A and B are shown apart, each in its own frame.
Chain A
Amino acid sequence: MQLRPVLTERDINRDLLRPVLATPIWFYILLGGLAIGVCAAIGGFAWAINHGTGVYGINRPVMWGFLLVNFVFWVGISHAGVMLSAILRLSNAEWRRPATRAAEVLTIFALGTAALHPLFHTGRPWRIYWSMPPGYDLGRGIWPDIRSPFVWDPTAISTYLTGTTLFVILLLIPDLAVLRDRSSGLMHKVYGFMSLGWKGNTRQWKLQIIAGFLLSALILPVFVSVHSIVSWDFAVQIAVEGWNATIFAPYFVIGAVHSGVAGVISVLALLRWMFRWENYIRDDHFDALARLMIVVATAWFYFFVIEFLLGIYPNEEPELSLRMLQVFEWPFSATFIIFVLMGYLVPVPLWLLKRVRTNVALMFWTTLMVNIGMWLERFIIIIPSLMRKQPLTFNWGSYNPSPIELILVGGSFCLVFLGVLTFSKFFPIIPLADAKEGVALETHVRVGKVMVPAAYREE
């Protein structure tokens, strides 16, 4: 028999609103720990502002260090939201339901955190307005080069952040109405204001569904453009060996989806453990996500292999030297091996086994492994290439991250998880409406002696 647990609307409200309506003690301890990490990062950044960017490990010729590696990493993680929410919503995948909001929220906080990194890197946050059109200093004749991906970047990231936030708010409205009806005092007023007078009538549902589909479709080009533009920050630079590759845009996008979906799986495993949501985030959800990961990871690995082979095939000395540095010279050799093993060679063969795909602990550790690998991938792409800039180089050099950079990187992880955790305190992190719809549409079909899980589908 393949029967699933039977859940009523009452069960769903009770279970999924539990973190919002009643907070366990461990929640505050965890929140406090993460807040300490964030405070340390704020302190580190204050130190950098006070002393200048000399406190970072960057120096000629490696002027982009850990902070920009981390920037690319968090932009990558942010790709999970749309990948899961929009694409799976458009394709009517039933198993998306428990994962969508966690993915969208992860997107918002990852993207917001990523956007901080250029500020950390430049060390002059009060000049942020220079990167936005209203702040262009045209009066002094300083024209930004609108052909530069550095100018496209803030536009793409802010559009994506706005779009994803709208997406989350829109899909949150029915759940906010449920919270409005179950809260009192100030929170009742806040939820009441945010739920925009939602009553759940036919017209409101129709509008909400249409808006959800439209936003899903509209946000997809933005989703692709964001990491493409990030990749072009590197790929359009012809003077840096290893970067001027035409495959960079799709390679970065698929890599971002790889790490983003892995991040969502890790978060889902944590949510299941923390809130005991075994009936909502089920083994078959992990199974489906892992199947998706096999496809995405294999496509990403194909791109990686092609990029690497096409780098060395012309048999040109500078490029060959760079690849030798990446693969055979310490410490990059170690990072390269770890990255390939963790990014693909260990997790994907494991996911081929169903007992791994349906084991939450193994899924958590393997997806965590993927993200360690993917962080190192960005490191391997950025640092060795800058160490061997060709042909306009005047010196070669190495790079060692400073303690301040390490604190900022660590703090960024705390900030993202602090954001997700705080969100889960105020809003349901598994969409109530989606879960109820899933239950309403869920049914079974008898095939011989077996009951097979099924769902109603309106076409």
Chain B
Amino acid sequence: MHNGGPHGHHVDLLERSSEQAAGEVLGWTERTGPVYLLVVLVLAALVALGVVGFAMTAADGGLDSHHPWGYLAAALAFIMTTSLSAPLVAIAPRFGKAHWNRYVSRIAETWGVVGLLALVILIPLLLTLPPADDRNTMLLYDTIVEGWPVGAPHLYVALVMVFVVINGFGLLWASNIPDFALAKGRVGGLRGALYSKLALGWVGSKRQWRALRAGMGVLGALYFMFIVWAHTVISFDFAQSLVPGMRDSVFPAWQALGGLQAALATVIVTSFVVRKIGPFRDYIGVNQFWSMAKLMLASSLLWMYFWWSGFIIYWYGKTPAQQDLLQLMWFGPYRTIFIITILLCFASPLLILMWNPVRKSILGPTIVGSLIIIGHFFDKIRIYVSSYSVEEYTGHVLKEVPEAVTPGAGDALMMLGVVAGALLLFTLAVKVVPIVNLWEIREGSMLQVVRPFKRLPLKILAKPE
């Protein structure tokens, strides 16, 4: 990093030639040492345990009812909130023409590969999800035309998730094309052939760049919309519509917003790890953590505001149905988990990140990011396990608040397996795609320069119109 100027004034710019950067990044991508292999093996073993957990739960509760699968639904929601939402951290700043994101955008996009795992988990969940008959569903089943829409909710949930995954892979591939073209000449063998195929004859002509930018813009916008709708339908069909009388319209939006918050947390924590284990200290610096921490603080405040907006209406209404829902979701059997969630997802970001020196550090945002991820893990358990535990899911009013469902061995193994599966897919992906976006860094170095302003060297940010 360029650390120039008098008065200790810090200017955060990468001092690497394109050649050097390509050598460092591609070299790390190619290398797979014994530690890496060990990590992969451990994660694979944990995934295998998850499969065992799945088999145990299937044998115990069967695939005939949705009730035993609350923890698996929570696991799906958790990886959607953290991993599948992570590409938003690459997409949104790109639309805002920001520069700080160039160094972490590939990390964010690479988390999109976890979509494969989400699709696998979705299969048993869809198979056991109750049919739309006698139950309220998102797309107004039977409300306007009897029996319409066909296949609700299974069909549209599956379609939305498939779109998210295809879109995520499309975005990851598109953003990699110039880097694949760069890498194909530097590596040989199977890897070189693969890069050559994926680069699609990229030569970097004006036309190709225009097409790439347009394509990435469209894919980014679509991903944003699909992931918000995925959060909406998953939170609706796998939670809200299983609880009679739950008419919480802010709930899907709250879950989508939680996705943005957890996405930032995921990218921050991943950036910290990547920075530690790879030669990326000069690439991912304080500026990246600071910028993401500011957004994470804002999204944490908004997360609490959305929750409060929903809560106050139920609390104020005080109808028996609303009080039962308050008991089920917040103040009854899952009260402890709810308090942990509030502490981790709201109180800790507020109390820690409100201090600029902490925000403008590497460790501070990483610690808060870790706490937020844990908070969302608990929050998904609270929401999905409680919803899956309601015996009588048809009707208009919750008749009885069920007891808390503690996880069995099968549930614990499944959750462990899902988290390990997400990490495994990411770990494998970082050895295929360069974890730092080389062309975006190169572009950034052209659009950011340091020049003296009066006597102080300052960074200049250029924004093409």
Contact = CB atoms under 8 A, between A and B. Distances in A.
A447 B250 contact: no
Interface string B115-131: 00000000000000000
A245 interface: yes
Contacts of B251: 246
A453 B142 CA distance: 56
B142 A310 contact: no
Contacts of B11: 459
A320 B447 CA distance: 55
A309 interface: yes
Contacts, number: 131
Contacts of A310: 247-249
A307 B249 contact: yes
B12 A246 contact: no
Which of B12, B232, B241, B305 gathers the greatest number of chain A CB atoms within 10 Å? B305
A311 interface: yes
Given A306-B252, A447-B446, A453 B463 contact: yes
A247 interface: yes
A44 B12 CA distance: 62
Contact of B248 (A246, A249, A447, A458): A246
B465 A457 contact: no
Interface stretch (B50-58, B78-86, B451-459): B451-459
Nearest to B286: A459
Interface string A125-163: 000000000000000000000010000000000000000
B138 interface: yes
Contact of A302 (B228, B313, B449): B228
A238 B460 contact: no
A309 B460 contact: no
A248 interface: yes
A458 B309 contact: no
Interface stretch (B23-31, B314-322, B414-422): B314-322
Interface string B372-411: 0000000000000000000000001000000000000000
A246 B249 contact: yes
A288 to B, nearest CB: 9
A307 B136 CA distance: 15
Interface stretch (A15-23, A189-197, A228-236): A228-236
Given A224-B305, A246-B251, A314-B396, A457 B461 contact: yes
Given A313-B136, A452-B447, A454-B462, A250 B313 contact: no
B463 A228 contact: no
Contact of B462 (A247, A312, A453, A458): A453
Contacts of A313: 136-138, 140, 143, 241, 247
Nearest to A228: B309
Contact of A456 (B12, B137, B309, B459): B459
Contacts of A395: none
Contacts of A454: 447, 460-463
A248 B309 contact: yes
Nearest to B305: A224
Interface residues of B, number: 48
Contact of A315 (B143, B245, B463): B143
A198 interface: no
A377 interface: no
B143 A306 contact: no
Nearest to B92: A295
B464 A452 contact: yes
A345 to B, nearest CB: 16
B10 to A, nearest CB: 8
Given A313-B140, A313-B143, A315-B142, A444 B253 contact: no
Nearest to A442: B460
B253 A320 contact: no
A119 B138 CA distance: 42
A244 interface: yes
A457 B460 contact: yes
Interface string A417-456: 0000000000000000000000001011101001011111
Contact of B458 (A314, A445, A458): A458
A309 B462 contact: no
B462 A246 contact: no
B327 interface: no
Nearest to A315: B143
Given A224-B305, A246-B250, A306-B249, A312 B143 contact: yes
Contacts of A455: 460-461, 463
Given A456-B458, A457-B459, A457-B461, A247 B253 contact: yes
B236 to A, nearest CB: 8
Interface string B227-255: 01000100000000100010111111100
A33 B310 CA distance: 45
B12 to A, nearest CB: 7
Given A246-B309, A250-B250, A306-B253, A284 B446 contact: no
B446 A245 contact: no
A287 interface: yes
Given A315-B136, A454-B462, A457-B460, A232 B249 contact: no
Nearest to A147: B316
A2 interface: yes
B426 interface: no
A244 B460 contact: no
B427 interface: no
A429 B354 CA distance: 33
A344 B10 CA distance: 44
A236 B312 CA distance: 8
A444 B140 contact: no
A2 B465 contact: yes
A452 B309 contact: no
B306 interface: yes
A246 B138 contact: no
B249 A311 contact: yes
A284 B306 CA distance: 33
A310 B52 CA distance: 38
A277 interface: no
A83 to B, nearest CB: 13
Contact of A246 (B314, B319, B453, B463): B314
B80 to A, nearest CB: 17
B287 interface: yes
Given A302-B253, A445-B447, A284 B140 contact: no
Contact of A236 (B305, B313, B453): B313
A445 B143 contact: no
B249 A2 contact: no
Contacts of B252: 306
Interface in B58-96: 95
A156 B232 CA distance: 32
A399 interface: no
A445 B450 CA distance: 10
Contacts of A413: none
Contact of B313 (A244, A309, A452): A244
27 contacts: A2-B464, A147-B316, A232-B316, A236-B317, A238-B317, A244-B313, A245-B247, A245-B250, A246-B247, A246-B250, A246-B251, A246-B309, A249-B305, A250-B305, A309-B139, A312-B140, A313-B136, A313-B138, A313-B241, A314-B245, A445-B446, A450-B464, A454-B447, A455-B460, A455-B463, A456-B460, A458-B456
Given A236-B316, A246-B248, A247-B309, 4 more contacts: A249-B250, A306-B232, A307-B249, A312-B143
Closest 6 CB pairs of A and B: A454-B462, A310-B249, A247-B249, A249-B309, A445-B462, A246-B310
